[in-house]
Structure 1
Amino acid sequence: MHCGPVQVLQAANRAMPPAAARGRLVLAGAGGALGNEVVRRLVGLGRFGSTEVLAREPIKAGLPRVSVRLVEGDDPAAWPPTTAGTAIVMFDPPRLFYQRERALWTPQPGQLPALARWLRRSGVGTLAVVMPHAQGRLPEALKRGLANLDEQALAALGFERLLIIRSAQAPAPARSGSRLEGVARWMLGIFRYMLPGSEQPVRAVKVAHLVAAALELAPPGIHVAAPQTVWEAAQGDPRAVVRDWLQR
Protein backbone atom coordinates (compact mmCIF):
# COMPACT_ATOMS: atom_id res chain seq x y z
CA MET A 1 0.00 0.00 0.00
CA HIS A 2 1.93 3.04 -1.29
CA CYS A 3 1.25 6.57 -0.10
CA GLY A 4 -0.22 8.69 -2.86
CA PRO A 5 0.25 12.47 -3.19
CA VAL A 6 -2.98 13.21 -1.35
CA GLN A 7 -1.91 11.16 1.67
CA VAL A 8 1.54 12.78 1.66
CA LEU A 9 0.03 16.29 1.61
CA GLN A 10 -2.37 15.38 4.39
CA ALA A 11 0.50 14.07 6.50
CA ALA A 12 2.53 17.21 5.83
CA ASN A 13 -0.33 19.49 6.87
CA ARG A 14 -1.19 17.47 9.98
CA ALA A 15 0.12 18.92 13.23
CA MET A 16 3.21 16.99 14.26
CA PRO A 17 4.76 16.92 17.73
CA PRO A 18 8.24 18.42 18.10
CA ALA A 19 11.11 16.25 16.86
CA ALA A 20 12.35 15.61 20.39
CA ALA A 21 8.92 14.31 21.41
CA ARG A 22 8.87 11.82 18.53
CA GLY A 23 12.03 10.13 19.77
CA ARG A 24 15.11 8.73 18.12
CA LEU A 25 15.35 5.57 16.01
CA VAL A 26 18.40 3.36 15.43
CA LEU A 27 18.54 1.09 12.38
CA ALA A 28 20.89 -1.91 12.24
CA GLY A 29 20.92 -3.64 8.87
CA ALA A 30 19.44 -0.77 6.87
CA GLY A 31 20.77 -2.17 3.59
CA GLY A 32 18.97 -4.56 1.30
CA ALA A 33 15.43 -4.32 -0.02
CA LEU A 34 13.86 -4.54 3.43
CA GLY A 35 16.09 -1.87 4.99
CA ASN A 36 15.38 0.46 2.09
CA GLU A 37 11.62 0.07 2.53
CA VAL A 38 11.78 0.51 6.32
CA VAL A 39 13.74 3.75 5.90
CA ARG A 40 11.28 5.00 3.31
CA ARG A 41 8.27 4.10 5.44
CA LEU A 42 9.39 5.32 8.86
CA VAL A 43 11.71 8.17 7.94
CA GLY A 44 9.72 9.42 4.96
CA LEU A 45 6.52 9.74 6.99
CA GLY A 46 8.25 11.46 9.89
CA ARG A 47 7.44 8.84 12.50
CA PHE A 48 10.59 9.72 14.46
CA GLY A 49 12.33 12.97 15.26
CA SER A 50 15.69 11.62 14.11
CA THR A 51 17.12 8.37 12.80
CA GLU A 52 20.60 6.92 13.18
CA VAL A 53 21.84 4.30 10.71
CA LEU A 54 24.75 2.03 11.62
CA ALA A 55 27.52 1.95 9.02
CA ARG A 56 31.07 0.67 8.73
CA GLU A 57 32.22 3.37 6.28
CA PRO A 58 31.45 7.10 6.03
CA ILE A 59 28.51 7.82 3.74
CA LYS A 60 26.16 10.73 3.16
CA ALA A 61 22.68 9.97 4.45
CA GLY A 62 20.85 12.20 1.96
CA LEU A 63 17.63 12.34 3.98
CA PRO A 64 16.50 14.97 6.49
CA ARG A 65 16.75 13.99 10.17
CA VAL A 66 18.92 10.97 9.26
CA SER A 67 22.50 10.59 10.49
CA VAL A 68 25.12 7.87 10.10
CA ARG A 69 26.90 6.31 13.07
CA LEU A 70 30.20 4.64 12.27
CA VAL A 71 30.87 1.43 14.17
CA GLU A 72 34.28 -0.19 14.41
CA GLY A 73 34.52 -3.95 14.17
CA ASP A 74 31.73 -6.48 14.55
CA ASP A 75 31.60 -6.66 18.34
CA PRO A 76 28.86 -4.36 19.67
CA ALA A 77 30.19 -4.90 23.20
CA ALA A 78 33.13 -2.65 22.28
CA TRP A 79 31.02 0.17 20.86
CA PRO A 80 30.38 3.32 22.89
CA PRO A 81 26.64 3.68 23.54
CA THR A 82 24.42 5.97 21.53
CA THR A 83 21.13 7.54 22.60
CA ALA A 84 17.80 6.26 21.27
CA GLY A 85 14.39 5.04 22.35
CA THR A 86 13.54 2.66 19.49
CA ALA A 87 15.63 0.28 17.39
CA ILE A 88 14.99 -2.00 14.43
CA VAL A 89 17.33 -4.87 13.61
CA MET A 90 17.24 -6.53 10.18
CA PHE A 91 19.43 -9.20 8.62
CA ASP A 92 18.64 -8.60 4.94
CA PRO A 93 22.03 -8.63 3.13
CA PRO A 94 22.97 -5.48 1.20
CA ARG A 95 22.49 -5.45 -2.53
CA LEU A 96 26.09 -5.36 -3.66
CA PHE A 97 25.36 -3.33 -6.79
CA TYR A 98 24.34 -0.43 -4.51
CA GLN A 99 27.59 1.19 -3.37
CA ARG A 100 25.86 2.95 -0.45
CA GLU A 101 24.46 -0.29 0.96
CA ARG A 102 27.87 -1.92 0.94
CA ALA A 103 29.02 0.72 3.43
CA LEU A 104 26.21 -0.03 5.90
CA TRP A 105 26.70 -2.40 8.83
CA THR A 106 24.60 -5.56 8.57
CA PRO A 107 24.44 -7.85 11.63
CA GLN A 108 24.60 -11.61 11.51
CA PRO A 109 22.04 -13.60 13.54
CA GLY A 110 24.76 -14.73 15.96
CA GLN A 111 25.49 -11.09 16.85
CA LEU A 112 21.93 -10.39 17.96
CA PRO A 113 22.42 -10.85 21.75
CA ALA A 114 25.47 -8.56 21.86
CA LEU A 115 23.76 -6.01 19.64
CA ALA A 116 20.64 -6.05 21.83
CA ARG A 117 22.73 -5.50 24.95
CA TRP A 118 24.40 -2.49 23.28
CA LEU A 119 21.00 -1.10 22.35
CA ARG A 120 19.77 -1.56 25.90
CA ARG A 121 22.84 0.31 27.20
CA SER A 122 21.94 3.06 24.76
CA GLY A 123 18.53 3.52 26.38
CA VAL A 124 16.42 1.67 23.79
CA GLY A 125 13.07 0.63 25.25
CA THR A 126 11.42 -0.68 22.08
CA LEU A 127 13.22 -3.25 19.92
CA ALA A 128 11.83 -4.73 16.70
CA VAL A 129 13.73 -7.64 15.14
CA VAL A 130 12.87 -9.06 11.72
CA MET A 131 14.07 -12.65 11.99
CA PRO A 132 14.61 -14.50 8.70
CA HIS A 133 13.96 -18.22 8.60
CA ALA A 134 14.04 -20.95 5.97
CA GLN A 135 10.66 -21.81 4.48
CA GLY A 136 8.94 -24.66 6.24
CA ARG A 137 11.80 -25.22 8.69
CA LEU A 138 10.41 -23.59 11.84
CA PRO A 139 8.38 -26.03 13.97
CA GLU A 140 4.74 -25.06 14.36
CA ALA A 141 5.06 -24.93 18.14
CA LEU A 142 7.75 -22.21 17.93
CA LYS A 143 6.28 -19.95 15.28
CA ARG A 144 4.48 -17.77 17.82
CA GLY A 145 6.99 -18.00 20.66
CA LEU A 146 10.67 -17.61 21.46
CA ALA A 147 12.46 -20.08 19.22
CA ASN A 148 15.99 -20.26 20.63
CA LEU A 149 18.30 -19.23 23.44
CA ASP A 150 19.27 -15.98 21.72
CA GLU A 151 15.66 -14.83 21.59
CA GLN A 152 15.18 -15.85 25.22
CA ALA A 153 18.25 -13.77 26.10
CA LEU A 154 16.65 -10.77 24.37
CA ALA A 155 13.49 -11.23 26.43
CA ALA A 156 15.55 -11.15 29.63
CA LEU A 157 17.17 -7.78 28.86
CA GLY A 158 14.17 -5.80 30.04
CA PHE A 159 12.97 -4.05 26.88
CA GLU A 160 9.62 -2.37 27.45
CA ARG A 161 8.46 -3.66 24.06
CA LEU A 162 10.11 -6.51 22.16
CA LEU A 163 8.73 -7.29 18.70
CA ILE A 164 10.01 -10.38 16.88
CA ILE A 165 8.75 -10.66 13.32
CA ARG A 166 9.44 -13.91 11.50
CA SER A 167 9.69 -13.46 7.75
CA ALA A 168 10.44 -16.33 5.37
CA GLN A 169 13.63 -16.05 3.36
CA ALA A 170 13.75 -16.54 -0.38
CA PRO A 171 15.67 -19.69 -1.38
CA ALA A 172 19.38 -19.18 -1.98
CA PRO A 173 20.39 -19.02 -5.65
CA ALA A 174 21.42 -22.34 -7.12
CA ARG A 175 25.15 -22.94 -7.39
CA SER A 176 26.76 -24.34 -10.49
CA GLY A 177 27.95 -27.94 -10.36
CA SER A 178 27.76 -31.24 -12.14
CA ARG A 179 24.70 -32.28 -14.12
CA LEU A 180 23.85 -34.84 -11.42
CA GLU A 181 23.90 -32.11 -8.75
CA GLY A 182 21.69 -29.95 -10.94
CA VAL A 183 19.13 -32.74 -11.28
CA ALA A 184 19.16 -33.31 -7.52
CA ARG A 185 18.59 -29.59 -6.85
CA TRP A 186 15.74 -29.55 -9.35
CA MET A 187 14.07 -32.53 -7.70
CA LEU A 188 14.45 -31.05 -4.21
CA GLY A 189 13.26 -27.67 -5.47
CA ILE A 190 9.89 -29.20 -6.32
CA PHE A 191 9.13 -29.49 -2.61
CA ARG A 192 9.14 -25.73 -2.12
CA TYR A 193 5.96 -25.52 -4.19
CA MET A 194 4.30 -27.85 -1.69
CA LEU A 195 4.65 -25.30 1.11
CA PRO A 196 1.52 -23.32 2.00
CA GLY A 197 1.33 -19.73 0.84
CA SER A 198 1.71 -18.52 4.43
CA GLU A 199 5.26 -19.98 4.44
CA GLN A 200 6.35 -18.17 1.28
CA PRO A 201 8.43 -14.96 1.32
CA VAL A 202 6.53 -11.69 0.94
CA ARG A 203 7.63 -8.42 -0.62
CA ALA A 204 9.91 -6.21 1.47
CA VAL A 205 7.50 -3.28 1.25
CA LYS A 206 4.79 -5.39 2.92
CA VAL A 207 7.10 -6.38 5.76
CA ALA A 208 8.02 -2.71 6.23
CA HIS A 209 4.32 -1.80 6.51
CA LEU A 210 3.84 -4.46 9.18
CA VAL A 211 6.88 -3.25 11.14
CA ALA A 212 5.63 0.34 11.06
CA ALA A 213 2.14 -0.67 12.21
CA ALA A 214 3.52 -2.87 14.99
CA LEU A 215 5.71 -0.07 16.33
CA GLU A 216 2.71 2.21 16.40
CA LEU A 217 0.16 -0.16 17.93
CA ALA A 218 1.99 -2.69 20.12
CA PRO A 219 1.48 -2.36 23.89
CA PRO A 220 4.29 -3.12 26.36
CA GLY A 221 5.40 -6.75 26.38
CA ILE A 222 6.88 -9.40 24.09
CA HIS A 223 5.10 -9.94 20.79
CA VAL A 224 6.08 -12.57 18.21
CA ALA A 225 4.61 -12.42 14.70
CA ALA A 226 4.49 -15.85 13.06
CA PRO A 227 5.20 -16.21 9.31
CA GLN A 228 1.46 -16.56 8.74
CA THR A 229 0.90 -13.14 10.33
CA VAL A 230 3.45 -11.58 7.99
CA TRP A 231 1.77 -13.26 5.03
CA GLU A 232 -1.70 -12.12 6.13
CA ALA A 233 -0.47 -8.54 6.44
CA ALA A 234 0.79 -8.72 2.86
CA GLN A 235 -2.66 -9.71 1.61
CA GLY A 236 -4.70 -6.89 3.11
CA ASP A 237 -4.65 -4.07 5.63
CA PRO A 238 -1.46 -4.39 7.75
CA ARG A 239 -2.91 -2.33 10.60
CA ALA A 240 -5.97 -4.57 10.88
CA VAL A 241 -3.76 -7.67 10.84
CA VAL A 242 -1.48 -6.21 13.51
CA ARG A 243 -4.44 -5.37 15.75
CA ASP A 244 -5.72 -8.92 15.42
CA TRP A 245 -2.25 -10.36 16.08
CA LEU A 246 -1.72 -8.26 19.20
CA GLN A 247 -5.08 -9.37 20.63
CA ARG A 248 -4.35 -13.12 20.31
Structure 2
Amino acid sequence: MAFSSGRVPGALVAAGAARAGYALLRAEPPGGAARWERKNHAGRTVDLHGGLAAAAGVALAAAVTRGLPGRTRTAAVLATVAATACGAYDDQAGSADERGLGAHLRALADGRVTSGAVKLLGIGAAGLAAGALIGRRPVDAVLAGVVIAGSAHLVNLLDVAPGRAAKAVLAAGAPGLLRGGPAGALAAAPVAAAAAVLADDLGERTMLGDAGAHALGAALGVSIVTANGRTGRALHAAVLVALAAVGDKVSHSDALWTAPGIRAVDAWGRLPR
Protein backbone atom coordinates (compact mmCIF):
# COMPACT_ATOMS: atom_id res chain seq x y z
CA MET A 1 0.00 0.00 0.00
CA ALA A 2 1.30 3.47 -0.86
CA PHE A 3 -0.01 6.99 -0.65
CA SER A 4 0.37 9.93 -2.99
CA SER A 5 3.29 12.25 -2.42
CA GLY A 6 3.07 15.36 -0.26
CA ARG A 7 2.68 16.54 3.29
CA VAL A 8 -1.02 15.87 3.82
CA PRO A 9 -1.02 12.11 3.12
CA GLY A 10 2.03 11.58 5.34
CA ALA A 11 0.46 13.62 8.13
CA LEU A 12 -2.80 11.66 7.91
CA VAL A 13 -0.95 8.34 8.06
CA ALA A 14 1.17 9.44 11.02
CA ALA A 15 -1.75 10.88 13.00
CA GLY A 16 -4.13 8.04 12.20
CA ALA A 17 -1.61 5.34 13.07
CA ALA A 18 -0.65 7.15 16.28
CA ARG A 19 -4.27 7.35 17.45
CA ALA A 20 -5.00 3.74 16.48
CA GLY A 21 -1.80 2.53 18.09
CA TYR A 22 -2.53 4.44 21.27
CA ALA A 23 -6.00 2.91 21.56
CA LEU A 24 -4.63 -0.58 20.90
CA LEU A 25 -1.84 -0.27 23.47
CA ARG A 26 -4.22 1.01 26.12
CA ALA A 27 -6.58 -1.89 25.46
CA GLU A 28 -3.88 -4.58 25.36
CA PRO A 29 -0.63 -3.37 26.99
CA PRO A 30 2.22 -5.80 26.13
CA GLY A 31 3.30 -7.51 29.33
CA GLY A 32 0.53 -5.89 31.37
CA ALA A 33 -0.41 -2.33 32.20
CA ALA A 34 1.96 -1.96 35.16
CA ARG A 35 5.00 -2.39 32.93
CA TRP A 36 4.14 0.80 31.06
CA GLU A 37 2.97 2.98 33.96
CA ARG A 38 5.04 5.75 35.55
CA LYS A 39 4.55 8.53 38.08
CA ASN A 40 4.91 11.99 36.57
CA HIS A 41 6.12 15.22 38.16
CA ALA A 42 2.74 15.77 39.85
CA GLY A 43 2.53 12.24 41.24
CA ARG A 44 -0.14 11.19 38.75
CA THR A 45 0.03 7.77 37.11
CA VAL A 46 0.54 8.01 33.36
CA ASP A 47 1.37 5.44 30.70
CA LEU A 48 4.06 5.34 28.02
CA HIS A 49 1.70 4.30 25.24
CA GLY A 50 1.48 7.73 23.63
CA GLY A 51 5.18 7.81 22.84
CA LEU A 52 5.23 4.31 21.37
CA ALA A 53 2.13 5.06 19.29
CA ALA A 54 3.56 8.34 17.99
CA ALA A 55 6.81 6.58 17.04
CA ALA A 56 4.90 3.90 15.15
CA GLY A 57 2.92 6.55 13.29
CA VAL A 58 6.07 8.34 12.16
CA ALA A 59 7.80 5.14 11.03
CA LEU A 60 4.73 3.99 9.09
CA ALA A 61 4.34 7.38 7.39
CA ALA A 62 8.00 7.35 6.31
CA ALA A 63 7.62 3.81 4.99
CA VAL A 64 4.48 4.26 2.88
CA THR A 65 4.37 7.88 1.71
CA ARG A 66 5.27 8.27 -1.96
CA GLY A 67 7.71 10.85 -3.25
CA LEU A 68 10.59 10.06 -0.91
CA PRO A 69 13.88 8.99 -2.50
CA GLY A 70 14.75 5.43 -1.55
CA ARG A 71 17.82 6.29 0.52
CA THR A 72 16.00 9.09 2.32
CA ARG A 73 13.06 6.80 3.10
CA THR A 74 15.43 4.16 4.48
CA ALA A 75 17.25 6.78 6.54
CA ALA A 76 13.98 8.06 8.06
CA VAL A 77 12.71 4.59 8.94
CA LEU A 78 16.11 3.50 10.30
CA ALA A 79 16.53 6.58 12.49
CA THR A 80 12.97 6.42 13.84
CA VAL A 81 12.95 2.69 14.58
CA ALA A 82 16.42 2.72 16.17
CA ALA A 83 15.56 5.74 18.32
CA THR A 84 12.32 4.06 19.42
CA ALA A 85 14.07 0.80 20.31
CA CYS A 86 16.90 2.47 22.22
CA GLY A 87 14.48 4.77 24.02
CA ALA A 88 12.13 1.92 24.93
CA TYR A 89 15.06 -0.02 26.37
CA ASP A 90 15.98 2.94 28.57
CA ASP A 91 12.32 3.38 29.57
CA GLN A 92 12.31 -0.20 30.85
CA ALA A 93 15.85 -0.63 32.16
CA GLY A 94 16.86 2.92 33.09
CA SER A 95 17.56 4.11 36.61
CA ALA A 96 16.44 7.44 38.02
CA ASP A 97 19.79 7.65 39.81
CA GLU A 98 21.70 8.01 36.56
CA ARG A 99 20.15 10.66 34.37
CA GLY A 100 21.76 13.08 31.96
CA LEU A 101 24.50 12.85 29.38
CA GLY A 102 27.26 13.55 31.87
CA ALA A 103 26.21 10.74 34.21
CA HIS A 104 26.25 8.17 31.42
CA LEU A 105 29.62 9.33 30.10
CA ARG A 106 31.12 9.15 33.61
CA ALA A 107 29.75 5.63 33.98
CA LEU A 108 31.37 4.63 30.68
CA ALA A 109 34.66 6.11 31.86
CA ASP A 110 34.37 3.88 34.95
CA GLY A 111 33.78 0.84 32.78
CA ARG A 112 30.03 0.59 33.38
CA VAL A 113 27.53 0.50 30.53
CA THR A 114 24.24 2.07 31.62
CA SER A 115 20.98 1.83 29.72
CA GLY A 116 21.43 5.51 28.91
CA ALA A 117 24.84 4.77 27.40
CA VAL A 118 23.29 2.05 25.25
CA LYS A 119 20.73 4.60 24.12
CA LEU A 120 23.40 7.23 23.48
CA LEU A 121 25.62 4.91 21.45
CA GLY A 122 22.75 3.22 19.64
CA ILE A 123 21.03 6.41 18.54
CA GLY A 124 24.39 7.97 17.67
CA ALA A 125 25.30 4.99 15.46
CA ALA A 126 21.86 4.97 13.84
CA GLY A 127 22.14 8.72 13.22
CA LEU A 128 25.47 8.27 11.49
CA ALA A 129 24.13 5.37 9.41
CA ALA A 130 21.09 7.41 8.40
CA GLY A 131 23.35 10.38 7.67
CA ALA A 132 25.52 8.23 5.43
CA LEU A 133 22.44 7.29 3.40
CA ILE A 134 21.54 10.95 2.85
CA GLY A 135 24.98 12.57 2.57
CA ARG A 136 27.43 10.35 0.75
CA ARG A 137 30.55 12.40 1.50
CA PRO A 138 32.01 11.71 4.96
CA VAL A 139 31.67 15.28 6.21
CA ASP A 140 28.02 15.44 5.11
CA ALA A 141 27.28 12.07 6.69
CA VAL A 142 28.81 13.12 10.00
CA LEU A 143 26.95 16.44 10.06
CA ALA A 144 23.70 14.68 9.22
CA GLY A 145 24.32 12.12 11.95
CA VAL A 146 24.94 14.84 14.53
CA VAL A 147 21.73 16.64 13.55
CA ILE A 148 19.63 13.46 13.70
CA ALA A 149 21.03 12.22 17.03
CA GLY A 150 21.16 15.75 18.46
CA SER A 151 17.52 16.40 17.58
CA ALA A 152 16.52 13.13 19.24
CA HIS A 153 18.46 14.08 22.38
CA LEU A 154 17.01 17.60 22.50
CA VAL A 155 13.38 16.50 22.30
CA ASN A 156 14.05 13.97 25.05
CA LEU A 157 15.58 16.70 27.22
CA LEU A 158 12.30 18.59 26.98
CA ASP A 159 10.12 15.64 27.99
CA VAL A 160 10.06 16.65 31.66
CA ALA A 161 6.66 18.40 31.77
CA PRO A 162 3.31 17.46 30.19
CA GLY A 163 3.15 18.48 26.54
CA ARG A 164 6.47 20.33 26.50
CA ALA A 165 8.31 17.97 24.15
CA ALA A 166 5.31 17.54 21.85
CA LYS A 167 4.87 21.32 21.61
CA ALA A 168 8.57 21.67 20.79
CA VAL A 169 8.18 19.20 17.93
CA LEU A 170 5.21 21.18 16.61
CA ALA A 171 7.15 24.45 16.78
CA ALA A 172 10.38 23.07 15.31
CA GLY A 173 8.61 21.13 12.58
CA ALA A 174 6.21 23.88 11.50
CA PRO A 175 8.71 25.67 9.21
CA GLY A 176 9.36 22.38 7.43
CA LEU A 177 5.67 22.12 6.54
CA LEU A 178 6.12 25.14 4.28
CA ARG A 179 8.53 23.18 2.11
CA GLY A 180 7.48 20.95 -0.71
CA GLY A 181 9.01 17.65 -1.69
CA PRO A 182 10.64 15.12 0.64
CA ALA A 183 11.58 17.64 3.35
CA GLY A 184 7.96 18.74 3.76
CA ALA A 185 6.64 15.18 3.84
CA LEU A 186 9.27 14.17 6.40
CA ALA A 187 8.46 17.15 8.64
CA ALA A 188 4.74 16.45 8.47
CA ALA A 189 5.03 12.99 10.03
CA PRO A 190 6.51 13.90 13.45
CA VAL A 191 4.39 17.07 13.64
CA ALA A 192 1.18 15.11 13.00
CA ALA A 193 2.12 12.28 15.35
CA ALA A 194 2.97 14.74 18.13
CA ALA A 195 -0.31 16.58 17.57
CA ALA A 196 -2.21 13.28 17.71
CA VAL A 197 -1.09 12.52 21.28
CA LEU A 198 -0.75 16.08 22.59
CA ALA A 199 -4.15 16.23 24.31
CA ASP A 200 -3.50 12.99 26.20
CA ASP A 201 -0.01 14.19 27.11
CA LEU A 202 -1.36 17.50 28.45
CA GLY A 203 -4.17 15.65 30.22
CA GLU A 204 -1.55 13.52 32.02
CA ARG A 205 -2.96 10.27 30.77
CA THR A 206 0.19 9.43 28.84
CA MET A 207 3.73 10.67 28.24
CA LEU A 208 6.16 10.37 25.38
CA GLY A 209 8.89 8.72 27.41
CA ASP A 210 12.32 8.12 25.97
CA ALA A 211 10.92 6.00 23.15
CA GLY A 212 8.49 8.60 21.84
CA ALA A 213 10.64 11.66 22.45
CA HIS A 214 13.71 10.19 20.77
CA ALA A 215 11.69 8.88 17.83
CA LEU A 216 9.97 12.20 17.16
CA GLY A 217 13.28 14.05 17.52
CA ALA A 218 15.16 11.69 15.21
CA ALA A 219 12.46 11.95 12.54
CA LEU A 220 12.52 15.71 12.85
CA GLY A 221 16.30 15.60 12.47
CA VAL A 222 16.00 13.66 9.21
CA SER A 223 13.63 16.30 7.85
CA ILE A 224 16.07 19.06 8.84
CA VAL A 225 18.96 17.25 7.17
CA THR A 226 16.91 16.74 4.00
CA ALA A 227 15.94 20.41 3.86
CA ASN A 228 19.48 21.79 4.28
CA GLY A 229 22.81 21.70 2.55
CA ARG A 230 26.18 21.44 4.25
CA THR A 231 26.14 24.94 5.72
CA GLY A 232 22.65 24.57 7.15
CA ARG A 233 23.47 21.16 8.59
CA ALA A 234 26.64 22.53 10.18
CA LEU A 235 24.72 25.38 11.82
CA HIS A 236 22.04 23.05 13.15
CA ALA A 237 24.70 20.63 14.40
CA ALA A 238 26.53 23.40 16.25
CA VAL A 239 23.35 24.58 17.98
CA LEU A 240 22.33 21.05 18.95
CA VAL A 241 25.77 20.24 20.38
CA ALA A 242 25.70 23.47 22.40
CA LEU A 243 22.23 22.65 23.77
CA ALA A 244 23.34 19.12 24.66
CA ALA A 245 26.28 20.58 26.59
CA VAL A 246 23.90 22.57 28.79
CA GLY A 247 21.23 19.88 28.87
CA ASP A 248 20.17 20.27 32.50
CA LYS A 249 19.58 24.00 32.01
CA VAL A 250 17.48 23.31 28.92
CA SER A 251 15.40 20.77 30.84
CA HIS A 252 14.87 22.50 34.14
CA SER A 253 15.97 26.16 34.00
CA ASP A 254 13.47 28.33 35.87
CA ALA A 255 14.80 31.38 34.07
CA LEU A 256 13.95 29.82 30.70
CA TRP A 257 10.59 28.17 31.37
CA THR A 258 9.16 30.96 33.53
CA ALA A 259 10.12 33.75 31.12
CA PRO A 260 7.14 35.83 29.87
CA GLY A 261 5.68 34.40 26.69
CA ILE A 262 7.50 31.09 27.00
CA ARG A 263 5.72 30.38 30.29
CA ALA A 264 2.29 30.99 28.74
CA VAL A 265 2.95 28.70 25.77
CA ASP A 266 4.58 26.05 27.93
CA ALA A 267 1.72 25.95 30.44
CA TRP A 268 -1.10 26.10 27.88
CA GLY A 269 -3.47 23.16 28.14
CA ARG A 270 -2.00 21.59 31.27
CA LEU A 271 -3.99 20.39 34.23
CA PRO A 272 -3.83 22.59 37.35
CA ARG A 273 -1.24 21.49 39.91
TM norm. shorter chain > 0.5: no
Structure with the largest fraction of helix: 2
Structure with the largest fraction of strand: 1
Higher Rg:
1
Give the TM-score of the pair, scaled to structure 2.
0.27
Give the TM-score of the pair, scaled to structure 1.
0.29
